[in-house]
Structure 1
Amino acid sequence: MQATARNHVGKLTGLLTVVSLALVFGAVLGAIPQRLLPQAPATVLEAIPHANAAISALAIVTILAGIRAVRRGDIRRHRQLMLTTFGLFAAFLTLYLYRVVMRGPTDFTGPAAVETYVYFPVLGIHILLAILAIPLVYYVLLLAASYPVAQLSETNHPRAGKAAATLWLISFTLGIVVYAMLYVIW
């Protein structure tokens, strides 16, 4: 199975990326009907942004710890932390998409000048980096799953992993900034 995956890392990355982005854009654009999902109580829907901010903060910690682990040569720990980060990302995305399908995107309620010159640029960069990170994350995870650890340094895993981690860190950080502007400051 590893050899089969190894021979199709690019195709699997593309497929997973397309499916993920289709779900995201489907939810944001209202193409996923609410009736397909179970209805959560209002308190759960209201708690999701706060839970996602905590998940994002934890993901930042696990990414940084994973980078530190690989620099120290602790590959087992690095793998655990990166898989944990991916799990946190999946949880974040599931909660986010569920809330967007059930409630729609959250409107910015702060001053119009802040919305135009701060909120939209931060949100735009956050979204762009998240979109760019998705295929890199899948690619790195698929390489890690399909090659023995001893061979990973001979693949694009180290280089792509650095790029994925950087994009993920900035995107998660900007996501917390967006959260603060939507739910804490205004």
Structure 2
Amino acid sequence: MENTSLAKNDTKYLILIAILSIVVPVLVSVLLFVPQTGKLGDIDLYFLPKLHAVINSLTAIALVVGYYFIKKGNRRNHRFAMTTAFVLSIMFLVSYVLYHYQVAPTSFGGDGTAKSIYYFILLTHIVLAAVIVPLVLLSVYFAISKQYQKHKKVSRWTFPLWLYVSITGVLVYIMIAPYYPQ
């Protein structure tokens, strides 16, 4: 009986994860490709890109700390570090959506090799940021539901991709920061 209710819960949560895995990237894409600037009035959100870089840095640190703790067999501290990374990522996403809802996009002003490097990092960051959404949600769900073998299997992919997205988020900020409006 317990397996049946777990299977029903799995189905319900896996459907929710699938929906969020589509809605989040679509929402971000709409904000990037169809900017809606100034809808919040005169609120100055130009400080947010720097905050996003800080949040991404802290997320990367939390991920590495969580990885360290699980390798040492310390599930309690692993759970705390990974919960921290998850909460930071949610804070980032909400802030990122607010920023791009309010502020016109900034174009990279560099050229030559710098421009090629920037767009390579940006493109891989964007693609993997979309890919990471379902992986993070699945990893969290399997951990919360104590399906540790599934959690471990998914997290083998989640961890390096999530770390890459966090680090490249910082790199994108560093590279485009000189071109933000003053």
TM-score normalised to the size of structure 2?
Answer: 0.86
Q: How does 1:140-155 map to 2 (within 5 A)?
A: 140-147=139-146, 151-153=147-149
Question: Contact 1:129 / 1:171 at 8 angstroms: preserved in 2?
Answer: yes
- The answer to whether the aligner puts 1:73 opposite 2:39 as a matched pair is no
What residue in structure 2 maps to residue 27 of structure 1? 31
Instruction: Tell me the secondary structure at the aligned position of residue 109 of structure 1.
Output: coil
Q: In 2 relative to 1, CA 158–40 (structure 1 residues): closer, same or farther, beyond 3 Å? A: farther
TM-score normalised to the size of structure 1?
Answer: 0.84
Cα displacement string for residues 3-56 of structure 1 (whole angstroms, at most 9, x for unaligned residues): 343343432220121221222122112276854xx44632xx111011111111
Letter in 2 for 1:55: I
Letter in 2 for 1:19: V
What residue in structure 1 maps to residue 129 of structure 2? 130
Tell me how far apart the structure 1 counterparts of residues 134 and 64 of structure 2 sit (CA, whole Å). Answer: 20
The gaps in structure 1 that reach 5 residues or longer are none
- The answer to whether the aligner puts 1:15 opposite 2:26 as a matched pair is no
Identity of aligned pairs, percent?
Answer: 26
Question: Contact 2:106 / 2:179 at 8 angstroms: preserved in 1?
Answer: no
Runs of 4+ in 1 over 3 A off after TM superposition: 31-35
Instruction: Tell me the secondary structure at the aligned position of residue 46 of structure 1.
Output: coil
Q: In 2 relative to 1, CA 14–52 (structure 1 residues): closer, same or farther, beyond 3 Å? A: same
Tell me how far apart the structure 1 counterparts of residues 95 and 28 of structure 2 sit (CA, whole Å). Answer: 11
Q: CA deviation at 1:94?
A: 1.3
Question: Contact 1:30 / 1:101 at 8 angstroms: preserved in 2?
Answer: no
Instruction: Tell me the secondary structure at the aligned position of residue 110 of structure 2.
Output: coil
- The answer to whether the aligner puts 1:41 opposite 2:37 as a matched pair is no
Tell me how far apart the structure 2 counterparts of residues 72 and 172 of structure 1 sit (CA, whole Å). Answer: 23
Q: In 2 relative to 1, CA 152–113 (structure 1 residues): closer, same or farther, beyond 3 Å? A: closer
Instruction: Tell me the secondary structure at the aligned position of residue 8 of structure 1.
Output: helix
Q: CA deviation at 1:113?
A: 4.7
Root-mean-square deviation (Å): 2.2
The gaps in structure 2 that reach 5 residues or longer are none
Instruction: Tell me the secondary structure at the aligned position of residue 107 of structure 1.
Output: coil
Question: Contact 2:36 / 2:102 at 8 angstroms: preserved in 1?
Answer: no
Q: How does 1:152-167 map to 2 (within 5 A)?
A: 152-153=148-149, 156-167=150-161
Q: How does 1:111-130 map to 2 (within 5 A)?
A: 111-115=111-115, 117-130=116-129
